[in-house]
Copies of this chain bind each other. A is one copy, B any other.
Amino acid sequence: MIIDFASAVSALKSAENILILTHANPDGDTLGSGFALLRALRAMGKRAKLLCGDTINPKYAHLYEGVESDSFEEEFIVSVDVAERKLLGKELDEKYGDRVDLAIDHHSTARLFAEKTYCEPDSASACEIVYLIIKALGVPVTKEIASCIYTGCSTDTGCFRYSNVTARTHRIAAELIEYGAEHSPINVRMFETKSMSSILFERLCLDNLEFYAGGKVAVITATLDMMRQTGADKSCFDAIKPLTRQIEGVLIGITVKQESKDTVGVSVRTGEEYDASAICAHFGGGGHLRAAGCEFKDDPFRVRDIVVKYVTENVL
């Protein structure tokens, strides 16, 4: 059932012994929402605990600093920033997926798995919503809560860069700074630190950056060997994807990634003139207008040649 803001607030007001669930592969928004809510509920004298299906990257340590663990039988379960139950991760989904009392979310693709769902698809982050809920609950916004909320506001918007940012996002950020959110150190940790693997992987990727069609097409081909050699993981690869398209003059950016011995994933990013999803649809894939993908069972360099040939001969 979809509920309104006031109902979400009153559900939390009357809840006791609360379990908060974040999504697996956790980011700053789900963790910021979860720990801000946990801190607020505890400040109201309630018992609250948080579970996440994956280990939490230590760069988010400021979110749970000073939060003591608690163990009790949960009576009320709330999920934050979880668009569908399988995103809880296998273990938490099996254990709690059909028992969530309240889902607080901001995804336009949200599935209604919880008993009650409060979703604002126009909100840049779940943290914006949790912030307004905390204020409506009458809990004083401490410096720690402000830093949790700020983390989600900042990470889900690429530090206020993306098109999902609204005037409300900035107004909330202003209030958070006044409440003592440590915005600058948080941003350094979230945006200005690259892992050694990531930088070594980026170096290998740039080494095999190639241009076609007079610089209109740029391609990076990443092999399993490159990943192994540098210790790169999925997040290192995700960081590379936008790179080709960001180069001045490049209209179509292609990143070819060897996923396993015989599977290759292709990510296509386009500027305003071309349709990435149409390019990928030609190869049985799909996605968005400016960012799409497709898969092959082949050698990565042969895949590169096939995609480049199609793009330069049939798309440009």
Q: Is A72 an interface residue (CB 8 A)?
A: no
Q: Roughly how many angstroms separate A262 CA and B173 CA in the complex, as a whole number?
A: 48
How many A residues have CB within 8 A of the partner chain? 39
B215 engages A196 (CB within 8 Å): yes
- Decide yes or no whether A159 CB sits under 8 A from chain B: yes
- Residues of B close to A171: CB separation below 8 A: 170-171, 174
Interface of A is mostly: helix
Q: A187 at the A/B interface (Cβ < 8 Å)?
A: yes
Show 26 residue pairs from A and B whose CB-CB distance is below 8 angstroms, ordered by the A residue: A160-B160, A160-B173, A161-B184, A161-B187, A161-B191, A162-B184, A162-B187, A167-B175, A167-B177, A167-B178, A169-B174, A170-B171, A170-B173, A171-B171, A171-B174, A194-B248, A195-B247, A196-B247, A196-B248, A196-B249, A199-B209, A199-B247, A203-B203, A203-B207, A203-B209, A206-B206
A17 CB-CB contact with B under 8 Å: no
Whole-angstrom distance between the Cβ of A160 and the nearest chain B Cβ: 4
Q: Say whether, besides A171-B170, A206-B202, A192 and B159 are in contact (CB < 8 Å).
A: no
Query: How many whole Å from A239's CB to the nearest CB in chain B?
Result: 12
Q: Does A163 contact B (CB under 8 A)?
A: yes
When the two chains form their complex, are residues A184 and B207 in contact, meaning their CB atoms are under 8 A apart? no
**Residue in A161, A183, A184, A192 whose Cβ sees the most chain B Cβ within 10 Å:** A161
Known: A194-B248, A209-B199, A248-B195. A170 touches B174 (CB 8 A): yes
